[in-house]
Structure 1
Amino acid sequence: MRLLVFSHKECWESDASPTKWATDGGFAMHMDYLSKLFDETRIIVPQIDRMPKGEVFFTNNTITILPVNVWIKRGMFNKLFMPFWLLFYLPKFIYEIMKCDAIHAPIPSNIGTIGFMLAHLFQKPLYIRHCGNWFVQRTKAEQFWHWYMEKFAGGKKVFLTTGGSKESPSLKNKHIQWIFSSSLTLQEIESFDTKRNWDNPFRCCIVCRQEKGKGTEIVIEALYKMKEKGINFTFDVVGDGSYLEELKRYAIEMQVEEQVRFYGKLNHEEVLKVLQKNNFFIYPTASEGFPKVVLEAMSQGLLVITTPVSVLGQMIIDSKSGALLEERNAENVIKSINLLLSDTNKLSEMSKNAIGYSKQFTLEAWANEIGSHLEKAWNVKLNRI
């Protein structure tokens, strides 16, 4: 079976990659494992110049990258020129659609939106994966995606949204289902040495795109307040973003710049190495879908301190491997750290709990769960992992 993917994820040519293509983040890993379900996978993505940091390879040789150029990446002009861009590439898209058996469109994404609208028009079996916060629609586009999924889910339209709950994502359409997200193989988790130094637990980290709302500045403030009491934590900050330079200035302002190390963007293997050096993953985020990075932290035995947004509350409670913040502020971060450190005999047990819990959410399990949805809806037999 042949799958065609429409994605906004920027990719570039790389001689070091087995497929000669690379990107950053979890997209390449997702496509590698999703493509194992199919005989051939062709992916339409915007091509950019090679990025030197955080490179992740596409490794499955059944994947073919179909690059397009995006004339204007963001802002109002992007929206104004999108119809002309679509007309320019439409013959190429139609040619690929006529050859494929099914279409996958990750959203939020302008290109993903074009993909699922063309799938609708040409009546192709369709799989949409909604990767944002399902319950929050701030823009007209988010409202449209939400409406479309609730209106048309069912039949050969398989619509999954990242997150998790004991209740269905939608009261209007029971065919919309939850799907977790992952960037971990079972082998990666099982190969990790679970021993940690809990005699000296004063190391914490965060990994995310450094934007307002992720809460990195809250942790920096907590470091300052603990330092005043003679407690010195180190804090590793991984990820780039528009807020990064402001965070560096804030660390200097709070006089904790010697305790905070900013790594910038790292690839998957590099992220795991940073996690392995730490004891606590502190993530005071305001909004999430299903954050892969929390599972990455758990897989390396870190205790997670985070907010009860989206699926995070359920993850911490079910895993018994961390603490939930009552409020998003430095005082509650300190309170949670002190709570966890108050019973040092339980730290190793909680760390093992975290690793065990993460084994439920591997890339293999992720692809097979998606495959079971697609087989049932499309009445086909896919390859299994």
Structure 2
Amino acid sequence: MYKNLVVVSDTALYKVNGQVFGFGPVVKELELIQSDFEKIIWIGANRPDKMGVGTLIPVKSVNIKTILIPEMGGKSVREVVKILLLYPYLFFLILKYISTADVIHTRLPSHPAFIAVLISFLFPKKIWWNKFAGSWDPNTLPFFYKFQRSILLKAKHSKVAINGFWEDQPKHCISLENPCLYNTDLIEGKISLKKKVFESPFTFIFIGRLDNAKGVDKIIEALNNIPINTIKQVHFVGDSINKILYENQASFLGNKVNFHGFLSTEQVHELLKKADFLLLPSKSEGFPKVIAEAACYGVIPIVSDVGSITHYINDSNGFVWKISSNKPFEEVFLNAINTDAQDLKEKSNNIVEVATLFTFENYKRKLDEMVFKKGK
């Protein structure tokens, strides 16, 4: 057992009536590995605006101590100045906790995690486990994300967990699937899969932030160009300031469309049990965990080829839209719903195999083999 793990992130946290709430997937990850440490110190962004959002859950473990720091982000002059002024404060705060830690876990791209990575060069003998979310392809990254990636490439004293498998991938950069499922979910998924028949009318689901970058506009456009009687239900899970706009654009679907806002994991899984297709024509991604969650229930993905998606999704288990081609998303969408039911069932059976890679149990095993064993 190690003494202390320090987690440095801009992950959302908030406190109400003495109870801390945190972003669900991260809470579950830390609960999974807490037995390896006497104490976990989690540095994250204070986000009282997230109060009541279903994706944030209670941090119940007494072994996890949270440190709430100011939120950092934005591109306006005022926001950039605020970020720069916070850097010295965060540097010494993070340094204070890192100096007493055995293992440090950073979650990038983010300002606090980037500061921690810079500090890592002062403590190369500690165990560093840096997670880079989003795409690892530098051609798709904004400047600051690309800069953080370049520093991680130099941090050979650490392990850098990335999405997908890349050509000329350095030895210290490890491919590590983000966990979102338990083995019990896989059992539930197999039960659900047996009931799927893939016959019109179909049920479609989108999970994510409601904006054009995620392809919501292309989804609504595609749905508007198929016979209404081929649509049973359409579920949009997620939220944004654009929600009302999309509700108006999708009004032609009448009571066949549902904009749910944020839902708990359990609620999302209930919708996935009834869904036929996952729609995600994003402009940029790493590997969206919603694909793995949907795969658990045999939901066939209709997705774009960005990030590391095609490292897992292909013609045998889904439908991939080549975003840089002249072919519109609508064409791939129509091909999917016009595919023979037997072929769709085969894709559904195949996609379940992808889900097995994204379990918390598999994640813990890989961490033990590739990260924690350094100090044991």
Do both proteins adopt the same fold according to a TM-score greater than 0.5, normalized to the shorter chain? yes
1:181 partnered with 2:182 = no
Pairing 1:35-54 to 2, within 5 Å after superposition: 35-49=34-48, 51-54=51-54
Q: How many residues align?
A: 362
Contact persistence 2:135–2:308 (CA under 8 A): no
Q: 2: CA distance between counterparts of 1:91 and 1:313?
A: 41
How far is 1:179 from its partner?
A: 1.7
Which position in structure 2 is the counterpart of 1:250?
A: 249
Which position in structure 2 is the counterpart of 1:30?
A: 29
1:239 partnered with 2:255 = no
How far is 1:89 from its partner?
A: 4.6
Poorly superposed stretches of 4+, deviation over 4 Å: none
Pairing 1:320-331 to 2, within 5 Å after superposition: 320-326=316-322, 327-331=327-331
- AA aligned opposite 2:338: N
TM-score scaled by structure 2?
0.87
Residues 5-43 of structure 1: per-residue CA shift (max 9 Å, x gap): 11101111256xxx9322235222233224444332111
Q: 2:366 aligns with which of 349, 364, 369?
A: 369
How far is 1:287 from its partner?
A: 1.8
How far is 1:45 from its partner?
A: 1.0
How far is 1:181 from its partner?
A: 1.4
| Partner SS state of residue 118, structure 1 | helix
Q: 1:134 aligns with which of 133, 136, 139?
A: 136
Contact persistence 2:211–2:217 (CA under 8 A): no
Which position in structure 2 is the counterpart of 1:206?
A: 206
Distance change >3 Å, CA 78–CA 310, structure 1 → 2: same
Which position in structure 2 is the counterpart of 1:66?
A: 67
How far is 1:347 from its partner?
A: 3.9
- AA aligned opposite 2:359: T
Which piece of structure 1 moves more, 210-219 or 3-12? Answer: 210-219
How far is 1:151 from its partner?
A: 2.1
Instruction: Structure 1: give runs of 5+ residues left out of the alignment.
Output: none
Residues 268-298 of structure 1: per-residue CA shift (max 9 Å, x gap): 1121112122111122122211110000001
TM-score scaled by structure 1?
0.85
| Partner SS state of residue 234, structure 1 | strand
* Aligned residues with identical type, % of pairs: 22
Which position in structure 2 is the counterpart of 1:380?
A: 375
Which position in structure 2 is the counterpart of 1:125?
A: 127
| Structure holding more strand per residue | 2
Q: 2: CA distance between counterparts of 1:213 and 1:69?
A: 27
Root mean square deviation, CA, Å: 2.5
Which position in structure 2 is the counterpart of 1:298?
A: 295
Distance change >3 Å, CA 91–CA 177, structure 1 → 2: closer
Distance change >3 Å, CA 137–CA 125, structure 1 → 2: farther
Pairing 1:1-385 to 2, within 5 Å after superposition: 1=2, 2-13=4-15, 20-49=19-48, 51-54=51-54, 55-70=56-71, 73-75=73-75, 76-123=77-124, 124-135=126-137, 136-152=139-155, 154=156, 156-162=157-163, 164-165=164-165, 167-168=166-167, 170=169, 173-192=170-189, 193-194=191-192, 195-198=194-197, 199=199, 201-227=201-227, 230-252=229-251, 255-317=252-314, 320-326=316-322, 327-339=327-339, 342=340, 344-376=341-373, 379-381=374-376
Distance change >3 Å, CA 186–CA 60, structure 1 → 2: farther
- AA aligned opposite 1:160: A
Contact persistence 2:214–2:282 (CA under 8 A): yes
Which piece of structure 1 moves more, 356-365 or 197-206? Answer: 197-206
Q: 2: CA distance between counterparts of 1:108 and 1:169?
A: 21
Instruction: Structure 2: give runs of 5+ residues left out of the alignment.
Output: none
| Partner SS state of residue 10, structure 2 | coil
